[in-house]
Amino acid sequence: MTERAADGERCDAKRAAGDRAEPAARGEPVRIGLLGRGTVGAAFHDLVLERADAIEATSGRRPEIVGVLRRSDGDFEGILDRADIVVELIGGTDPARDYVLRALRAGRHVVTANKQLIAQFGDELFAAARDAGSQLRFEAAVAGVVPVIRVIQESLAATEITKVFGIVNGTTNFILSEMASTGSTYADALARAQELGYAEADPSDDVGGADAAAKMAILARLAFGAPVALADVAYQGITEIQPEDISYAKELGLSLKLLGVAERRDGGISVRVFPCFLYSHHPLAPVEGPFNAVMVEAPTITEITMSGPGAGGIETASAVLGDVVSIVSGRASVSAAHQRFEMVRDISSAFYLHLEVADRPGVLANIADVLGRNEVSVRSVVQRGMGNDARLVMVMHEGPESRFFAALEEIATLEFLRAQPRAIRVIEEEFV
């Protein structure tokens, strides 16, 4: 596009934004253009019909769907012309990004459930919304119906949040819960999740950690006011987890979760997703099945925990409609990302370490020597099996990850090791 055309487009956007009926008078319907009528879109469509009377009674404006766009049906320009609010439930980034940008630039408010869109193109979309004076709302993009975005943006707007963390992917939480309760393999637990509709036919984004990483990028941006992008998030999934890791850990009083953690550390920010063991008294330890739970920490609030269903058509639709009602009720959304920040990579963690070793004297002493030289201290050790089945399961105290990984690299070369070592992080924090 030429500079001139781009300028022309901005002028059109300003004109269109100016044309938009400013907080329309009570009694006027709020006209919704719906992009996508799949699992969430269809549930949203039904929910609007079902809740229209109640929303009109409380907000003074009746929601009406004035157009629906599907792959083979509908006309985006026509919908844009008729709508006050555009609800994007297509998913993915193409063509969703283009439609959302065009809607914002035309002065429409936008509600979306699309985490990839916000995580990858947040800067561009928030800037477009700011320039046009429109709202961009996305409560359903993180933790489904759990109102974590609204709590961070509104209730905690005056709080300096130090850490946001939790279980933000229901598929992996279901799989890990299933492995723990039945002793099944990862593959069997995944098949069960697919059978029950908790995992998609192609589950790679969920089980590989990318879905949780996108959600954590969004939470970090909101919590710290910093333009955290998906590329800033280090992530790891659950595909390598073995049933025996879970059962050994149970003996040590630990349960396994895929955690997303965004925190201020050493003057910077760290945002990561990783499988992790929690002690049983941790507030996230009892969160089972496809549920999500997010904790927020700050000196002024100590900590709060929110939990609930992380997905599902009707649950997600309910969060989307909540955003529509917020817009109708005139509540502004704030998504400024103004802080400069540095990503901190080497942070402190505790680890679980699983080693398959030869059954002979001196093995434990040898491993203890490597750990000691790297200043990694051991919290507990369980020795299991004999002969070709001998294993050592250890839990370390928290320390710099770089030291632990240096020790791990050395341990992996020891000649008495019968398989690659497996390491999983452990959250040691004490909760009362």
Ligand X SMILES: NC(=O)c1ccc[n+]([C@@H]2O[C@H](COP(=O)([O-])OP(=O)(O)OC[C@H]3O[C@@H](n4cnc5c(N)ncnc54)[C@H](OP(=O)(O)O)[C@@H]3O)[C@@H](O)[C@H]2O)c1
The residues annotated as belonging to the active site are 215
User: Do 404 and 374 form a contact (C-beta atoms < 8 A)?
Assistant: yes
34 or 390: CB nearest ligand X: 34
Which residue, 311 or 392, has its beta carbon nearer to ligand X? 311
Residue 70 interacts with ligand X (CB under 6 A): yes or no: yes
To the nearest 10 degrees (0 to 180), the angle between helices 313-328 and 39-59 is: 40
State the angle between helix axes of 170-182 and 243-251 in degrees (0 to 180), rounded to the nearest 10.
70
Q: Does 113 bind ligand X (CB under 6 A)?
A: yes
Helix H or strand E encompassing 220? helix 210-224
Q: Which stretch binds ligand X (CB under 6 A): 55-63, 87-95, 147-155, 331-339?
A: 87-95
Q: Does 168 bind ligand X (CB under 6 A)?
A: no
Q: How far is the CB of 286 from ligand X (least distance, A)?
A: 23
* Residue 114 three-state SS: coil
Q: Does residue 2 touch ligand X according to CB under 6 A?
A: no
202 binds ligand X (CB under 6 A): no
Nearer to ligand X, 203 or 313 (CB): 313
Q: Which residues pair with 298 in a beta bridge?
A: 302
Taking CB under 6 A as the criterion, the residue among 114, 172, 292, 333 binding ligand X is 114
Nearer to ligand X, 120 or 270 (CB): 120
Task: Select from 49-57, 67-75, 376-384, 398-406 the region that touches ligand X (CB under 6 A).
Answer: 67-75
Peptide bond into 95 cis (omega under 30): yes
Dihedrals phi, psi of 130, to nearest 5 degrees: -60, -45
Query: Which of 353, 329, 331, 326 shows the shortest CA–CA distance to 412?
Result: 353
Tell which residue, 38, 40, 33, 107, has the closest CA to residue 64: 33
Residue 30 interacts with ligand X (CB under 6 A)?
no
Count the Cβ atoms, other than its own, within 10 Å of residue 174. Answer: 23
Among 13, 16, 17, 40, binds ligand X (CB under 6 A): 40
| C-alpha to C-alpha distance for 63 and 114, rounded to whole angstroms | 21
Q: What letter would DSSP give residue 142?
A: S
Q: Which residue is nearest to ligand X (CB)?
A: 38
* Residue 118 interacting with ligand X (CB under 6 A): no
Q: Which is nearer to ligand X, 110 or 353 (CB)?
A: 110
Q: Is 411 in the site for ligand X (CB under 6 A)?
A: no
Report the SS3 class of residue 423.
strand
Q: What single-letter DSSP state applies at residue 302? A: E
Question: Of 23-31, 202-210, 305-313, 381-389, which segment contacts ligand X by CB under 6 A?
Answer: 305-313
The H or E element that residue 276 is part of is strand 268-279
If one asks whether residue 275 binds ligand X (CB under 6 A), the answer comes out as no
Q: Kindly write out the interface string for residues 316-335 of this chain, putting x where it contacts ligand X by CB under 6 A and - elsewhere.
A: x-------------------
Q: Which positions lie near ligand X, rule CB under 6 A?
A: 36-41, 69-72, 89-91, 95, 113-114, 140, 144, 311-313, 316
